[in-house]
Amino acid sequence: MFDKLEDLLHRFEEILNELNEPTVAENQARFRALMKEQSDLTPIVEAYREYKKCNETVEDSLSLLDSENDEEMREMLKEELNDAKKRIEELETQLKVLLLPKDPNDDKNVIVEIRAGAGGDEAALFAAEIYRMYVHYAEGRRWKVELLNVDEIGTGGMKEVQFVITGQGAYSRMKYESGVHRVQRVPETESGGRIHTSTISVAVMPEVDEDIDIVIDEKDIRVDVMRASGNGGQCVNTTDSAVRLTHYPTGIVVYSQTEKSQLQNKAKAFALLKSKLYDMEQQQRHDAEAELRRSQIGTGDRSEKIRTYNFPQGRVTDHRINLTLYKLDKIMNGDIEEILDACISADQAAKLVRMNGEAV
């Protein structure tokens, strides 16, 4: 590990030297690549430099203890020694986590798809609430949310909704939301006061950008244009602006109607289709690497029940990590940071265990 850290430290210094050269800004692609690499390496380098400094402190304290006779000074040195040793242990764990293989999609924007499952209108209402939860969460992190498509019902629910979240590290956090979300509560239409259970499914896909080559053959696509439906502006129900794409080889159908322009809706539909095809390719790869998939949180089976929202008891339980929080109102208002932090920690711990097992 320390050989690798020394190599990364050396690479970091090379990057800084190159960035200081006056000609580097002339090549914007190179400049951006260097800036990104510097940003990725900074937390590792900072932790490693602190680790080396703590080791120096340990060596200095031990050396001084050998020659120091004053008892008060010896106690101060022992305290300094113990603090440095404790910090070294913390930094070793931190460095192991920082050196874990990074998901290449972590820095990407995401396309999120929410679909109502079992439970009829109640599931559609819950789908709309989860959509709003994600919008509030994104706003709290100053991410941008852009609606791609929504199929609403008259009571304010959503049978299905697709949207893009744009922001630094969006996929690194939102990927843990993929799976089945279950709600337990008394529906407003239930006169007998019985608790009903409904489900929705959430799929989180990395947005496909230029660095990912997804080829879509025109002969494999059927493009249909139609009038948009539902709530909207002046163009709804007046122009053929909505676009539906059907991908014959996979049977995937995507729809976009949120823009006034047919061209804009077509571009959004193709972006969604590309992400779905890329996501399908990733899922197949994960299925082939079953052991790896089982050892990670957030990259498992889309049919897995990941979370239950129990309204009568005001609790939310994430079943993957056995975490229960009694702050349902705050969570439904977008306060999901604690859940995602716990998922990330559990994922890192599982990867460390697996990595250590391979090392043995």
For the ranges 124-133, 228-237, 258-267, the maximum mean pLDDT occurs at 124-133
Report pTM: 0.74
Is the pLDDT at 152 greater than 70? The verdict is yes
For residues 160 and 306, give the distance between their C-alpha atoms in angstroms, rounded to a whole number.
19
Q: Strands across the sheet with 252-256, in order?
A: 221-226, 242-247, 252-256
Q: What is the mean pLDDT of residues 41-46?
A: 92
Is the pLDDT at 5 greater than 60? The verdict is yes
Provide the β-strand partners of residue 111. Answer: 164, 205
Q: Which of 154, 167, 286 is nearest to 231 (CA)?
A: 154
Provide the β-strand partners of residue 181. Answer: 200, 307
Residue with tokens 């014959």: 248
The alpha helices in the chain, defined as continuous H runs, are: 2-19, 28-67, 71-98, 120-140, 170-174, 262-288, 290-294, 328-332, 337-359
Task: For the chain, give the percent of residues with pLDDT over 90.
Answer: 40
Provide the β-strand partners of residue 199. Answer: 182
For the ranges 83-97, 270-284, 318-332, the maximum mean pLDDT occurs at 318-332
pLDDT, position 285: 66
DSSP class of 102 = P
For residues 337 and 345, give the distance between their C-alpha atoms in angstroms, rounded to a whole number.
12
Contact 259, 239 (CB under 8 A): no
For residues 69 and 178, give the distance between their C-alpha atoms in angstroms, rounded to a whole number.
62
Element housing 222 (H / E): strand 221-226
End-to-end alpha-carbon separation of the chain, Å? 14
98: tokens are 């920082």
Q: Give residue-wise pLDDT tens across range 183-215.
A: 999 887 666 778 889 999 999 988 876 656 677
For residues 176 and 134, give the distance between their C-alpha atoms in angstroms, rounded to a whole number.
12
308 φ, ψ to 5°? -125, 135
Q: Which of 22, 67, 24, 18 is nearest to 38 (CA)?
A: 18
pLDDT, position 234: 40
Is the pLDDT at 355 greater than 80? The verdict is no
The angle subtended at Cα 153 by Cα 130 and Cα 242, nearest 5°, is 95
Average pLDDT, the chain: 84
For residues 224 and 222, give the distance between their C-alpha atoms in angstroms, rounded to a whole number.
7
Element housing 245 (H / E): strand 242-247
Residue predicted with more confidence, 171 or 277: 171
Q: How confident is the model at residue 307 (pLDDT cuts 50, 70, 90)?
A: very high
The angle subtended at Cα 213 by Cα 208 and Cα 218, nearest 5°, is 95
Q: Which of 345, 343, 294, 338 is nearest to 97 (CA)?
A: 345
For the ranges 1-5, 14-18, 280-284, 329-333, the maximum mean pLDDT occurs at 329-333
> Which residues does 248 contact at the CB level (< 8 Å), separation at least 6?
220, 221, 222
Q: Coil, strand or helix: which one is 254?
A: strand
276: tokens are 């779905």
